[in-house]
Amino acid sequence: MLNDNDSELKKFHLFHSKPVFVPVILIIWLFIMCLYEYLTYTDSILPILAKKQPLEVILPIFNQLFVALFFLLGITNIIIAIRYAMIKDKVKESELAILAKETPADWHPKVELLYTTYNDFIPYALAQCLKQTYDNTQGVILDNSTDPKYIKMIDDFVIAHPNVKLVRDSQNKHAKAGNLNNYLCNGTHDYDYFVILDSDELLENRFVEKCLKMFYYNDIGILQCNHISGQNHNSFMRTFSSSGNIFWPVQNVVRSVEGGWLNKTVSGVSVGQTGGALCIELGHGVMISRECFEDIGQMPYAVAEDLCTSIEATLKGWNIKFASQIYGNEAFPVNMAALMIRSSKFCSANFEFFKKYSARIIKSKTISLYQKIDLFCFTLSVPISAFQYISLVITSIICPVLHIPLVTQLFMLLPTLVCYFSQSLVDTVFHLTNGMKFLDLLAYEVESMLLYGSFYFITVKSTVLALMNKPAKFIVTPKVNEHITFLHAIRNHYQGILFSIFTIIACIAISGSYWVLLSFIPGCFGFLFEMQANYLTSEEQAKADKLQSYSNKALQSGNTETVDWND
């Protein structure tokens, strides 16, 4: 849509800059790794070679691959946050300048809101999303549900909202991607853009209007919008939801700004400005143009269909950008079990993506070297806990048993700590900046360490299954919390508890590595957070009741009342 020769329009182009943060990361990372490699060579490799046991050299060298990865991911989290602090005001100013503009009166594209659901329909969420200031908007429910309760609920909603289309996928294949393709790739449609909604999605009322301005004044095919974690109605959700409010803008603003610009022409794709990072769409709260989707052909059949779609679009020459000033609202996972299911899905999905796309990404001339490195880091950031565990086994069990000399245990622990606490450090800085009291912050950090520290088992399990070529499976994150007793919590997490206890005993008995307590004590007690979702303050109970009442009202014909998207 954007004419590059039009100077008036170019003034309102989204802010972007030359690659900065990835080169800085690489410089810092290479400096640290040179130091580590020198010490590993002098303290480990030389003594091994002196004993004339060259095969044992493999273990410390293999472990250095993990050390390198831990430092790379840890440094990335810190540098990307610093970069965000440097550019966020310019990005906001650039976006607000575009949003203040008007689009031509004769430009009136049709936008469809595609609400995907599988036994998790939330009436109040869809009712609110439909309440847009832009009038040429069509709601479409894409339903894969098998539960009669949700099927009836959806039928009642369509009766109450006759302008909403309902499309059911009776075959229910390929999860979310199959649900979307069943509609988009079959029949004739008259949309110009579509928005993908998850079942708990809330959009601000000007969402569509704002997105269209971004498309009109920028040469983009996909626009991912910002999210806040709201609708939190129990103690677990309230405690841990704030991390997402930091992660979304920090990560995505930098990747959007440094994503470069592609020029798509009839003859092919040229790189207008080299990208230093890769901006991706995240599966919901995203608008995609019809031209972009039809050029891709379909949503790739993968668990991480959003990440795969982003690569397909980029390889085809379409620009993907992030809008920090256009908001959606999504609920944080309702309990610990839901959060672990989501983490497990992300882990297996990223391995599936890596297997399917690594060769194409490496060979691509559209994606720059810096973008490939950034994508590599992003893909491996989820299974990092499994890699940390492998490194722990090497340094604290295998090497001591074989009497292989290593650098001091504390020295080997440092890269793991840098990686583990890097995101926590970013959260700490932003929480303090936003006015969180120190004691509240301290309590939050301790709770986060205990919660996420108990995810080792599920991540290791997902990684092992992925490496054994077990297909990734799309599992819908549960949206409803059931009362969990102490015995139920132990029964749900006994494997993780035993896994942590065994690791602690083995490390202390074999190498005297008491520092493993830092990593695996959470796995012994983290299951207690399973019951935290049982507790609601009076305000949270009132909010839960309020949201339920809005769902009931959304099923009533003639009712126009909707929940405030900020709730």
CATH number, position 121: 3.90.550.10
Phi, psi of 332 (to 5 degrees): -70, 150
Side-chain half-sphere of 101: how many Cα atoms within 13 Å?
Answer: 21
Residue 268 and residue 169 share a domain: yes
221 assigned to some structural domain: yes
Query: What string of pLDDT tens digits covers the 567 residues of the chain?
Result: 544 444 444 445 677 777 787 888 999 999 999 988 888 888 888 888 887 777 788 888 888 898 899 999 999 989 988 999 999 999 999 999 999 999 999 999 999 999 999 999 999 999 999 999 999 999 999 999 999 999 999 999 999 999 999 999 867 778 899 999 999 998 888 999 999 999 999 999 999 999 999 999 999 999 999 998 878 888 999 889 887 788 889 999 999 998 888 877 655 677 767 778 889 999 999 999 999 999 999 999 999 999 999 999 999 999 999 999 999 998 899 999 999 999 999 899 999 998 899 999 999 988 989 899 988 888 888 888 888 888 888 888 888 888 887 766 667 678 888 888 888 888 888 888 888 888 888 888 889 888 988 999 999 999 899 888 888 888 888 888 888 999 999 998 999 999 999 999 998 999 887 778 878 899 999 999 999 999 988 888 888 888 889 899 999 987 878 887 776
Enclosing domain of residue 100? 88-334
From edge to edge, which strands make up the β-sheet containing 111-117? Answer: 165-168, 137-143, 111-117, 193-197, 286-289, 222-230, 320-331, 202-203
5 assigned to some structural domain: no
Residue 254 and residue 215 share a domain: yes
* Helix extents (H) in 364-408: 369-380, 384-393, 399-402
Phi, psi of 95 (to 5 degrees): -70, -40
Looking at the structure of the chain, the number of domains it has is 2
Beta bridge partners of 248: none
Residue 407 and residue 287 share a domain: no
The last residue of a domain, from among 276, 302, 334: 334
348 assigned to some structural domain: no
Residue 79 and residue 166 share a domain: no
Q: What is the pTM of this model?
A: 0.91
Residue 70 and residue 95 share a domain: no
Residue 435 and residue 527 share a domain: yes
Residue 292 and residue 399 share a domain: no
